[in-house]
Structure 1
Amino acid sequence: MDERRTPKLVGTAWGLLILNTLGSTGAETVVPLPRSLIQMVTMGALVLAFLLALALNPRLRVRPSAFLFLLTLLLVPSVIASADLESGLGALFRCGRMALFVVTLWLLSRWWDGGVTFVRHHIRMYFVVLCSVAAGALVSPGAAMPDLYGGRLVGALWPLTPPQIGQYAAVIIGLAVLLVVGHRTDRRSAALVIVPSLVLLLLTHTRTATLGLLVGLTLAIGSLTLTSAAARRFFSWAVLCAAVAAVVFAAALRSWFLRGQSEENFSNLTGRAKVWDALLAAPRTTGEKVFGMGLGDKSFDGLPIDNSWLAVYHEQGLTGVTLVAGVFVVLGGVALLRPPSLARACAIFLISYCALASYTEAGLGDASPYLLHLAVAASLLAQPAAATPLPVPDPPRRRVPRWARTSEVT
């Protein structure tokens, strides 16, 4: 399907899904925003995205997708665990939100054709989010780099945490670099996205996003080196520059990576390991082990879990962990079976980034940016729809004048 045939409002619906996943908690903003107002905006964005997708696809035409099928199955343990109301009515509300999120993805799957249309939507929408972060830093540098977060960049206009900003910046940097390597955009346009996003990424001091960017780009560009001379040149220069930087700026890089933490705190993953050990040691019934405790706020005893696999185990049980693992197996397997291409490289980048980030970030079991990243990967791996030949009309019959007709001989 040609990008020009995709309705522009599809990008609007995708932007509304991104707005829905921005979250409602984070740093203090310049203008205080009540959490109820933020939740109303984000949930309203999801409802509008669904209605818009339904208006664009009234005949409910969808593309077969194992990724979306597994997400739909993930609703089953979520509802089963949330139905007993031990997690409160909020758990059922989150189930409804996730169901609407998945249905909207199904409606938009009609335009998943293996092209880079949704990659462009992804870059544009997240770049707008990063522009709001940069504007907040210019308006109030103190609020954008508070001491509460150790001087790391946060959202001063919309409550965004450093890991969120780092994630958005890393993803669009990687996708923009791949579009340049694949000759799908010019260097000037890409630089307008890459350079400011890289600055914001460095200001967040987000190690997970930085490692995910480097590992994802290495795997993605490596998948193109056998068929693309531009990819081979970029890969060679990137390796050379990385080697030089590692030697010349070793001390600065180590200081940036540690963020002023001690070796013990760093090895303990900033206290995450203690929460993980406590979560795994907590007693659970057989039903809770299989189906989880119900959708929550990805925390345990009031502390963030910060691990997608443990968060899914806690909320959706072993069933949820199996389904999420199936998502990576399916997407990764399809990506490996595809011939080298730009779409395949972008999908490999997104899959590998989400897989690496899942170790220190939560979100794979609920409506989140990570599921949107994987949805873009699924759209890149979708088979192009077969072109339907247009019917050829019969040539018009020429009318013969009366005087030119041959008289019938009787």
Structure 2
Amino acid sequence: MGGDLRPGGLPGGPDTAGTRPGDGPRPAGTPKAVGVVWGLLVLNTLGSAGAKTIVPLPRSLIQLVTMGALVAAFALALALNLRLRIRPGAFVFLLTLLLVPSVISSATLESGFGALFRCARLALFVGTLWLLSRWWDGGLTFVRHHIRMYFAVLGSVAAGAIISPGAALPDLYGGRLVGALWPLTPPQIGQYAAVIIGLTVLLVLGRRTDRASAAAVIVPALVLLALTHTRTATLGLLIGLALAIGSLVLTSAAARRFFAWAVLGAVVAVVGFGAAVQAWFLRGQSQEYFTSLTGREKVWDALLAAPRTTSEQVFGTGLGDKSFGGLPIDNSWLAVYHEQGLLGVALVATVIAVLAGVALLRPPSLSRACAIFLISYCAIASYTEAGLGDASPYLLHLAVAASLLAAPAAAAPLPTPEVPRRRIPRWARSRSEVT
């Protein structure tokens, strides 16, 4: 990715003074290593379970790499912020509170020692976000880091598809695109593609990147999204972009033009290619299977019907692998209820509500639009994807939204130089007194 997606946006260097609309002033000397920390967090949240890769990778090796990335991210963030300067905010504070039901429920070892290990992982993850909060200033720095890192992940997916199309489009997943170099599932790839497409579109509308650089990101990401046949990611992208661009319509002519063309394109697609769009969404499934959310409702009903003690209802059963009865839960709210109880559900709901409320109260800007897109995408995806209660890409998306909604750091006032007082000779002083 080249062009204007590098730090600084438009030609002419970085906007350290915050003179461009939508970009708040950045702390002087923001280390480039902050992007490395963000990349390590992205690597940690890729997961260790997925499709079979071209070169078989032991799950223990993948877990060692991902956990090592988290430890390295925390250590590097601590080295960059040795004075522990943080920006207090509701988002990271609520995630810290989420550790309480996680530890209480995991301490019973009902989910095994792995639950305590996952608590330690969540604690390191949240601690790294605390350390990075020093550089959350309402600017687009973390948006650019986010796009770059996930574009690199999608680059590995594309490389795997070129090297071995059979492994990248296996029959086990119905011919949907998977990660052939790193074990990534179709929903993961669809999520990463949808998020960077939406953010890049908003950067174009805000004139923070040129169209050639944006096309180099959007076009291949759209191809990968189409190959995954991921309905949740597609709907999240469309609805999230509609809400984000809608927040700019009153202040941006480019947003109004894009919105009008998007509506026209949607009408043409439905009228002219309705059958193809329907076939893409059904993925060869029956209408009944589609309406039951590919069998997810059976797992949800069983989870809600399972008997629970009062402690399990309040604090959950401990951090696990987001499954019930050996089947994936695929719903963030039910996964949080199962593992962190009603207290966890209340905290996660508060996180979403606080971020959404702050976004609505902010004046129209590009930063606000990007935050609205990320918040709405996570809220939509939470219905059929798990991850809001544990270290995951969804929490990284919300962390970027929190960085966009942070108030710009107040610039320290320049010290006023003290003018030395002129000494008046004694003879002159006495004459002036006489006069």
Task: Please classify the TM superposition score into its range, dividing by the shorter chain length.
Answer: over 0.9
Which residue is equivalent to 2:368? 344
Which residue is equivalent to 1:373? 397
Which residue is equivalent to 2:103? 79
Alpha-carbon offset, residue 22 of structure 1:
0.1
The 3 A distance-change label for structure 1 pair 331 and 75 is same
Which residue is equivalent to 1:134? 158
Contact 1:17 1:45 (C-alpha < 8 Å) held by counterparts? yes
1-side partners of 2:32 and 2:185: how far apart? Answer: 30
1-side partners of 2:294 and 2:208: how far apart? Answer: 40
TM-score of the two chains, using structure 1 as the length reference: 0.96
1-side partners of 2:319 and 2:369: how far apart? Answer: 33
The reply to whether residue 57 of structure 1 matches residue 81 of structure 2 is yes
Equivalent positions of 1:4-403 (< 5 A) are 5-393=29-417
Alpha-carbon offset, residue 3 of structure 1:
7.5
Task: Give the partner amino acid of 1:389.
Answer: P
Q: Secondary structure at the match of 1:136?
A: helix
Percent identity of paired positions between Structure 1 and Structure 2: 82
Task: Give the partner amino acid of 2:301.
Answer: D
2-side partners of 1:2 and 1:100: how far apart? Answer: 26
The structure 1 segments of at least 4 consecutive aligned residues displaced by more than 6 Å after TM superposition are none
The 3 A distance-change label for structure 1 pair 265 and 4 is farther
Which residue is equivalent to 2:18? none
In structure 2, stretches of 5+ residues that fail to align are 1-24, 422-435
After superposition, give the CA deviation of every residue in 1:111-131 in whole Å (9 maximum; x if it has no partner): 000000000000000000000
Q: What's the RMSD between the two structures over aligned residues? A: 1.4
Q: Secondary structure at the match of 2:412?
A: coil
Q: Secondary structure at the match of 2:402?
A: helix
2-side partners of 1:312 and 1:347: how far apart? Answer: 23
After superposition, give the CA deviation of every residue in 1:123-159 in whole Å (9 maximum; x if it has no partner): 0000000000000000000000000000000000000
Contact 1:130 1:197 (C-alpha < 8 Å) held by counterparts? yes
Alpha-carbon offset, residue 394 of structure 1:
5.5
Q: Secondary structure at the match of 2:88?
A: coil
Q: Secondary structure at the match of 1:183?
A: coil
Contact 1:272 1:306 (C-alpha < 8 Å) held by counterparts? yes
2-side partners of 1:25 and 1:303: how far apart? Answer: 14
Alpha-carbon offset, residue 64 of structure 1:
1.3
2-side partners of 1:145 and 1:233: how far apart? Answer: 37
Question: Which stretch of structure 1 is more off in the superposition, 387-396 or 260-269?
Answer: 387-396
Q: Secondary structure at the match of 1:5?
A: coil
Q: Secondary structure at the match of 1:365?
A: coil
The number of aligned residues is 399
After superposition, give the CA deviation of every residue in 1:140-188 in whole Å (9 maximum; x if it has no partner): 0000000000000000000000000000000000000000001111111
Which residue is equivalent to 1:408? none
2-side partners of 1:302 and 1:208: how far apart? Answer: 23
1-side partners of 2:70 and 2:183: how far apart? Answer: 18
In structure 1, stretches of 5+ residues that fail to align are 398-410
Contact 1:3 1:117 (C-alpha < 8 Å) held by counterparts? no
Alpha-carbon offset, residue 390 of structure 1:
2.9
After superposition, give the CA deviation of every residue in 1:321-359 in whole Å (9 maximum; x if it has no partner): 000000011000000000000000000000000000000
Task: Give the partner amino acid of 1:10.
Answer: V
2-side partners of 1:44 and 1:67: how far apart? Answer: 25
Alpha-carbon offset, residue 86 of structure 1:
1.2
After superposition, give the CA deviation of every residue in 1:257-315 in whole Å (9 maximum; x if it has no partner): 00000011001100100000000000000000000000000000000000000000000
Task: Give the partner amino acid of 2:252.
Answer: S
1-side partners of 2:80 and 2:419: how far apart? Answer: 35
2-side partners of 1:85 and 1:154: how far apart? Answer: 34
Alpha-carbon offset, residue 392 of structure 1:
4.7
Task: Give the partner amino acid of 1:106.
Answer: W
2-side partners of 1:391 and 1:145: how far apart? Answer: 63
Contact 2:26 2:408 (C-alpha < 8 Å) held by counterparts? no
Q: Secondary structure at the match of 1:224?
A: coil
Contact 1:3 1:115 (C-alpha < 8 Å) held by counterparts? no
Task: Give the partner amino acid of 2:389.
Answer: G
Contact 1:179 1:185 (C-alpha < 8 Å) held by counterparts? yes
TM-score of the two chains, using structure 2 as the length reference: 0.90
Alpha-carbon offset, residue 395 of structure 1:
7.6
